[in-house]
C-alpha cells in the first residue's frame, strides 16, 4: 500500500499475511510512522542546514525535531503524484520548484511487487539550467522481535563528531559489528552509516528478510533505537557529504542540467 500524499511513502508490505516492513498505523498522517519513504535531493544530515556549492551559500529549512541540522531533503515532506499504476506496479513523481533548495528537480519512484517482496527504483533528474548537487536514499523500517538478528559485512563506519553529525571513519567495532548476526534487541543505540554494507539479512526462526541495493548505494545507514523496529537505509553518499572535501569519494554527486541520478533497493522475504 502506498501513500503518495504523505511523502510518497510505502504504508505496508506483507507476504502471506506477515509484515515484511513495519506497518503504518491506520489513519496516520505522520511520515515517520511509514513503512518506507524516499530521501531526495540528499540523504541524512547536512550540518547546521547550510553548505556552499560553487560559491553560493545554500541555507536549508530545519525541522525542529532534528535541529540544528537539515535532514533527508524535502521529498519525504512533499506530496507525490501517481504517474502510473497496475496490479503489481506503480510510479510516483515529485516535481520540486526552486526554493531553499535552489534547483528544480524531478524525482520518480517505481514500485514492483514480485513473489518474494518489493523492488523500489528511485531517480532524480536535474530540471534546472545549472549544475545541481545530489544524493538519494531509501528509508525502510523493519519489524523487530526479541529474536531478530541482523547480519551484514562492512569495512568501516562513520562516527565521532557531535550533534549526530559524524566526522570520522572508524573500525566497525567502535560502533557495532553486525558481521556475526547479533540480535537487534541486544544492540546499543546505533544511528550510523556503514561503508560497503552489501546485502543485509534480517533473520529469526522460520523467517529471513534480505535487503539489497544498487552498487552506487554504497552506504547502509543503520538505525536501532530499541523497540519494535530497525532501519536499514541504502544511500548514495556518506553523512554530511555536502561538506566533504572535493578529493573524497563521498558519493556527493553533481548533476548537469537534464542529468539523472538513480538507485534501487530490493526487499525479499522467505518463510
Cα dihedral 68→102→223→144 (10° resolution): 130
Question: Would the pTM count as exceeding 0.75?
Answer: yes
DSSP symbol at 254: E
* pLDDT given at position 197: 64
Residue found under cell 534480517: 202
In the chain, what are the domains? 2-270 (2.70.98.10)
Residue found under cell 503518495: 4
Q: How far apart are CA 219 and CA 222, in angstroms?
A: 9
Within 10 Å of residue 210's Cβ, how many Cβ atoms? Answer: 17
- Tens-place pLDDT, residues 17-63: 999 999 999 999 999 999 999 999 999 999 999 999 999 999 999 98
Which CA distances in Å does 139 have to 99, 117, 209, 231, 267?
24, 16, 16, 7, 12
* pLDDT given at position 9: 99
* pLDDT given at position 163: 79
**Cα torsion 236, 240, 40, 129: sign:** negative
Three-class secondary structure of residue 120 per DSSP: strand
pLDDT along the chain (271 residues), means of 10: 98 94 97 99 97 97 91 97 97 98 99 96 99 99 98 94 88 96 97 91 96 97 96 98 95 98 97 80
* pLDDT given at position 105: 99
Amino acid at each position: 500500500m502506498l501513500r503518495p500524499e504523505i511523502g510518497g511513502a510505502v504504508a505496508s508490505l506483507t507476504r502471506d499475511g506477515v509484515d515484511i516492513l513495519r506497518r503504518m498505523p491506520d489513519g496516520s498522517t505522520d511520515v515517520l510512522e511509514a513503512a518506507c519513504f524516499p530521501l531526495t535531493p540528499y540523504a541524512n544530515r547536512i550540518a547546521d542546514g547550510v553548505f556552499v556549492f560553487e560559491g553560493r551559500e545554500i541555507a536549508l529549512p530545519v525541522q525542529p525535531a532534528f535541529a540544528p541540522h537539515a535532514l533527508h531533503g524535502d521529498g519525504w515532506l512533499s506530496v507525490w503524484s501517481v504517474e502510473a499504476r497496475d496490479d503489481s506496479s506503480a510510479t510516483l513523481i515529485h516535481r520540486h520548484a526552486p526554493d531553499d533548495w535552489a534547483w528544480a528537480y524531478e524525482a520518480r519512484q517505481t514500485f514492483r511487487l514480485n513473489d518474494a517482496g518489493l523492488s523500489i527504483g528511485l531517480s532524480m533528474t536535474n530540471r534546472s539550467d545549472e549544475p545541481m548537487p545530489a544524493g538519494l536514499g531509501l528509508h525502510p523500517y523493519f519489524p523487530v522481535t526479541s529474536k531478530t538478528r541482523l547480519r551484514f559485512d562492512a569495512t568501516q563506519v562513520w562516527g565521532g563528531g557531535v550533534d549526530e553529525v559524524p566526522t570520522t571513519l572508524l573500525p566497525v567495532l567502535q560502533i557495532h559489528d553486525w558481521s556475526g548476526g547479533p540480535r537487534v534487541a541486544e544492540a546499543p543505540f546505533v544511528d550510523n552509516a556503514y561503508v560497503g554494507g552489501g546485502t543485509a539479512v534480517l533473520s529469526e526462526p522460520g523467517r529471513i528478510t534480505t535487503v539489497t541495493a544498487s552498487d552506487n548505494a554504497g552506504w547502509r545507514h543503520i538505525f536501532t533505537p530499541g523497540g519494535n523496529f530497525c532501519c536499514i537505509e541504502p544511500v548514495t553518499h556518506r553523512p554530511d557529504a555536502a561538506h566533504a572535501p572535493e578529493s573524497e569519494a563521498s558519493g556527493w554527486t553533481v548533476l548537469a542540467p537534464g542529468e539523472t541520478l538513480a538507485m534501487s533497493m530490493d526487499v525479499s522475504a522467505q518463510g
